[in-house]
Amino acid sequence: MKKLIALTLALLMLALPVWAEERIPAAEGATLTVTGSASVTLKADYAKVSVGVSTKAATVEEATERNGEAIRSVIAALTAAGIAEDDIATSSYSVYAEYDYSTGEAVQSGFNVTNQLTVIIRDMTAIGATLDEATKAGANNIYNVEFCSTLAAEAQDEATVHAVQDAFRKAKLLAAAAGLDVGGVIALEENSGGYFTVAATYKAEAARDATSNVILPDDLTVSASVKLVVALIDPN
């Protein structure tokens, strides 16, 4: 059996140079389609957080009044912590009735009013402390800590250029493996792009003050993908 395998391999090795010398010319109008991708990592330089207040009361008037007082206190705490007014904006506001189903029937038990803010925190060392102040002022809905960068657009452009270069590299590699050359570009389109961070809640640690939260920024990964269609030409 071993002799048979050795003989088969020997025959294949003898045939390989003959096969390598054979060329399959590119058909007229032959094309090659490849995709290229690239990513760029950069440091986050600001954070975007959803901060809000949800209040419950027997009447809609009472729930609205209590919510208004609480959200004003939260905004005051945020501005006192150094957040610019332009970096605080309402993202959602809702009022809805609540029901008690414990008796088997829907019995209205009160109203819930929620006011949610989008807050931009530009001091990356003060994210935890700023959210602590908002909590102390009455915020009871804090989520979606998103790390962002003011250089994201430039990084996106860089990633796109690298993605195109990657596509050309692949096209030349594949064409050369087939004994062909890359001709002109027939089509080039962007498939996707964007920047991503790890979905962050509180990346919490035990701080020196047990009541304080530590928020650790994540790096951003900006990605781009393109599709390239090129003509194939026979170099002979």
* Contact call for residues 186 and 230 (beta carbons, < 8 A): yes
Handedness of CA 35, 41, 44, 50 (dihedral sign): positive
Q: pLDDT category, 78, cuts 50, 70, 90?
A: very high
Tokens of 96: 């809805």
**Token reading at 197:** 């961070």
- The tokens for 20 are 């390598």
Q: Is the CA virtual torsion 60, 63, 69, 75 positive or negative?
A: negative
Instruction: Specify the pLDDT at position 142.
Output: 94
Q: Does the structure show a pLDDT above 60 at 77?
A: yes
Rounded-to-integer distance, Cα 155 and Cα 153, Å:
5
Helices 127-136 and 60-80 sit at what angle, rounded to 10 degrees?
A: 150
According to the model, what pLDDT value does residue 212 have? 61
220 vs 139, which has greater pLDDT? 139
- The span from the first CA to the last CA of the chain, in angstroms, equals 44
Q: List 18's β-bridge partners, or say none.
A: none
Q: What is the pLDDT of residues 124-170, one digit of tens each?
A: 989 999 999 999 999 999 998 899 999 999 999 999 999 999 999 99
Block residue for tokens 């809000």: 52
Has this prediction a pTM greater than 0.75? no
Tally of CA atoms within 13 A in the half-sphere of 171 that contains its CB:
29
Positive/negative CA dihedral, 51, 57, 62, 66: negative
* Mean pLDDT of all residues in 78-87: 97
Strand-pairing partners, residue 73, are none
pLDDT for the residue numbered 220 = 87
Of 218, 158, 224, residue with least CA distance to 194: 224
In the chain, what are the helix, strand and coil shares in percent, each to the nearest 5?
Answer: 35, 40, 30
Give dist(CA 112, CA 106) in Å, integer: 16
Q: By C-alpha distance, which of 29, 33, 30 is closest to 191?
A: 33
**Residue 51 to residues 54, 106, 144, 174, 223, Cα–Cα distance (Å):** 10, 31, 9, 52, 29
Mean of the per-residue pLDDT values for the chain? 84
